[in-house]
């Protein structure tokens, strides 16, 4: 008989960000009360706690971990042998590396099913300012980001772009004190109705994210922007990537952001050269992406000097 895979849910986020509240709420829902044996592993102690009666009512056992090194393969195997869980919830310490955890060997038939990141919208900017690399790692590997405690002063669009810059597939949800808030509709800093949409250098990051999130806005439209041109021997003839380098995480994490582009003109594309280009945006399958995505058809390339500020931000 084939053994059942045991799903592991990793709940990440910084201390007092709302992870325990989220798990308490989740375990109190009817869909959770299905009788399955749940193992809850708690990796940090916040102000809110789990009541013994709630755990018992939901057939849940709890184990605690104080140090990152303790959460190793042998410890997890011991818990598996002791409790024989049918699912595992891990309230992970936000100061520990998610990447390192994902590299750990889990017990046989345990598998990461979902990673959820809970962040306090009122204080996330402080983490971005002070420990940006760690804050961005939290959202790099996640499936769902929930920004709670948001209000009218929370820079929703900035947070959303920051997440999408490093993790395009992540779903981003914003909640106010009542647990309800619509995702931001940002006023774009360029004219979508112009015959040629001109992207200012400082707005390239906004455009790069928005094309992927709302490709219908740009389908068939002409766009003009400054880019560094990159080629590859692996690309078919006539294809290259114009883009910009972005600091998505920290000074040591520079990523080149661009879309595959098709050029049938007479000039030869030189890797590393700068140019202001005019493109027509299409959303279609590309063998380079191995899926559908933005494909730019280039109609104009005008060489330009390298800008004073090469990096773009979000």
The pLDDT tens digits of the residues spanning 236-265 come to 888 999 999 987 655 567 889 999 999 998
| pLDDT value, residue 187 | 75
**Spatial CA neighbour of 218 closest among 227, 208, 204:** 208
| pLDDT value, residue 252 | 61
Q: Please say whether the beta carbons of 4 and 90 come within 8 A.
A: no
Counting as low any pLDDT under 50, the low residues of the chain are: 1
Q: Please say whether the beta carbons of 256 and 243 come within 8 A.
A: yes
Query: In this structure, what is the dihedral angle of CA atoms 230, 211, 287, 232, given to the nearest 10 degrees?
Result: 0
| Dihedral pair phi/psi, residue 225, rounded to 5° | -160, 160
| pLDDT value, residue 3 | 65
Which H helix or E strand runs over 240?
A: strand 239-247
**CA-to-CA dists, residue 153 to 10, 20, 30, 123, angstroms:** 29, 25, 34, 11
| pLDDT value, residue 314 | 65
Which H helix or E strand runs over 209?
A: helix 204-213
Instruction: Please classify residue 273 by burial: count the beta carbons closer than 10 Å to its beta carbon, then call 0-12 exposed, 13-18 middle and 19+ buried.
Output: middle
| pLDDT value, residue 130 | 87
Count Cβ atoms below 10 Å from residue 3 Cβ, excluding itself: 7
3-state secondary structure of 283: strand
């Amino acid at each position: 008989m084939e053994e059942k895979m045991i799903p592991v849910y990793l709940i990440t986020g910084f201390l007092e960000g709302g992870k325990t509240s989220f798990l308490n709420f989740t375990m109190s829902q009817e869909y959770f009360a299905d009788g399955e044996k749940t193992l809850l592993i708690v990796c940090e102690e916040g102000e809110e706690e789990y009541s013994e009666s709630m755990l018992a009512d939901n057939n849940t056992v709890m184990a605690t971990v104080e140090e990152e090194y303790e959460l190793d393969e042998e410890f997890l195997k011991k818990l598996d042998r002791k409790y024989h869980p049918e699912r595992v919830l891990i309230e992970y310490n936000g100061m520990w590396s998610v990447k390192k955890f994902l590299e750990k060997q889990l017990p046989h038939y345990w598998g990461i099913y979902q990673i959820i990141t809970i962040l306090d919208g009122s204080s996330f900017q402080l983490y971005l300012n002070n420990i940006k690399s760690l804050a961005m790692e939290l959202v790099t590997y996640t499936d769902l980001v929930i920004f709670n405690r948001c209000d009218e002063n929370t820079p929703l669009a900035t947070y959303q772009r920051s997440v999408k810059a490093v993790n395009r597939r992540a779903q981003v949800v914003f909640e106010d004190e009542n647990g309800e808030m619509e995702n931001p509709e940002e006023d774009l800093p360029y004219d979508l109705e112009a015959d040629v949409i001109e992207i200012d250098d400082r707005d390239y990051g906004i455009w790069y994210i928005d094309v992927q999130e709302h490709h219908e806005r740009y389908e068939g439209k002409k766009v003009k922007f400054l880019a560094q041109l990159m080629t590859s021997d692996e690309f078919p003839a006539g294809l290259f990537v114009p883009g910009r380098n972005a600091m998505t995480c920290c000074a040591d994490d520079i990523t080149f952001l661009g879309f595959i582009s098709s050029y049938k003109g007479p000039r030869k594309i030189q890797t590393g050269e700068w140019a202001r280009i005019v493109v027509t945006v299409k959303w279609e399958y590309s063998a380079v992406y191995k899926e559908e995505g933005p494909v730019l058809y280039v109609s104009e390339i005008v060489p330009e000097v390298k800008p004073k500020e090469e990096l773009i931000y979000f």
